[in-house]
Amino acid sequence: MRVYINPGHDLTYDSGAVNPNSGLRECDVAAKIGGKVKEYLEAAGCECRLLQSDNLYYDSDYADRPVAVCADANAWPADIFVSIHCNAANSAARGTEVECYNRMSDGGNLAQCIQGQIVHALKTVDRGIKEMPGLAVLKHTDMPAVLVETAFIDNDDDARLLVEDWDKFAAAIARGVTDYECSLQ
């Protein structure tokens, strides 16, 4: 299986969400988790490509901009696409959710496999699978695609998990991908 891994945001110009107390940046967490997901999946026999980017806008905002990460994944071509992020809201919200274009699709199945593994391994609040068809990385990829919101970086308890258990997040995402692969056979 060919897996395209997209840690969200950019290390130099778009950090994504930031924890207001610790300064923990989403781009750094996503990069660390994404790199380890790649290692785990390659060890399991998957071929992986990794590109960190911030190309996650809604189409209505930037309809004329190319989505480079999607074009790269489509041209490779990937069998699945996994974008990795941290959520943020109001410092009180907690938990994990995985977003897909359509719940009743292969992308929805992939989302459920990853969500189940993260919630089981890390005991995060299960916020479920969310349909987000307006997200560019879900709309403009030709393969099943998901956006994983690992935990809320602006919640200190969730942020602690992201710092202390980042490897468990990576392993859970990788297991979710291999669960999905097994579900196809």
Q: For 133-154, how does the pLDDT look when each residue is reduced to its tens digit (9 = 90+)?
A: 988 889 999 999 999 999 999 9
Q: Terminus-to-terminus CA distance in the chain, angstroms?
A: 12
Residue 38 phi, psi (nearest 5): -60, -45
Which stretch, 11-20, 47-56, 136-145, 162-171, has highest mean pLDDT?
162-171
The domain ranges of the chain are 2-184
Residue 158 has pLDDT above 70, yes or no: yes
Q: Which parts of 74-125 are beta strand (E)?
A: 80-87, 96-100
- Please give the CATH number for the structural domain made up of 2-184: 3.40.630.40
Residue 126 has pLDDT above 70, yes or no: yes
Separation of alpha carbons 38 and 148, rounded Å: 15
Q: How many CA atoms lie within 13 A of 122 on its CB side?
A: 32
Separation of alpha carbons 138 and 94, rounded Å: 23
